[in-house]
Amino acid sequence: MKQIAIISPSVRNERVGHRVALYIKKYLEENSIAKVDLLDLKEFDFPLFNERLMFQKDPSAKLIDFSERIKKADGVIIVSSVYNYSFPASLKNAIDVLYPEWTRKVVALASATMGIVEGLPTTFQLENILSQMKAIVSPIKFFAINIANEYKEDGTAVNKETTDKQVKPMVDEFMFLVNKFTE
Binding site for ligand FMN (CB under 6 A): 10, 12, 15-17, 81-85, 112-115, 117, 147
* Least spacing, CB of residue 103 vs ligand FMN, in Å: 28
Q: Which is nearer to ligand FMN, 151 or 174 (CB)?
A: 151
Q: Which is nearer to ligand FMN, 102 or 143 (CB)?
A: 143
Pairing of strands 106-112, 142-144: parallel
* Least spacing, CB of residue 21 vs ligand FMN, in Å: 9
DSSP string, 141-154: -EEE-SHHHHB-TT
* Least spacing, CB of residue 76 vs ligand FMN, in Å: 18
* Least spacing, CB of residue 27 vs ligand FMN, in Å: 18
C-alpha to C-alpha distance for 79 and 183, rounded to whole angstroms: 25
Question: Phi and psi for 161 in degrees, rounded to 5?
Answer: -60, -45
Cα angle, residue 111 at apex, residues 142 and 172 outer, rounded to 5°: 25
Q: Which residue is nearest to ligand FMN (CB)?
A: 17
* Least spacing, CB of residue 172 vs ligand FMN, in Å: 25
Taking a C-beta distance cutoff of 8 angstroms, is the pair 66, 102 a contact?
Answer: no
Burial (Cβ within 10 Å: 0-12, 13-18, ≥19) of residue 18: buried
Q: Which is nearer to ligand FMN, 45 or 68 (CB)?
A: 45
C-alpha to C-alpha distance for 160 and 179, rounded to whole angstroms: 26
Q: Which is nearer to ligand FMN, 99 or 124 (CB)?
A: 124
Q: Which is nearer to ligand FMN, 63 or 114 (CB)?
A: 114
C-alpha to C-alpha distance for 175 and 108, rounded to whole angstroms: 9
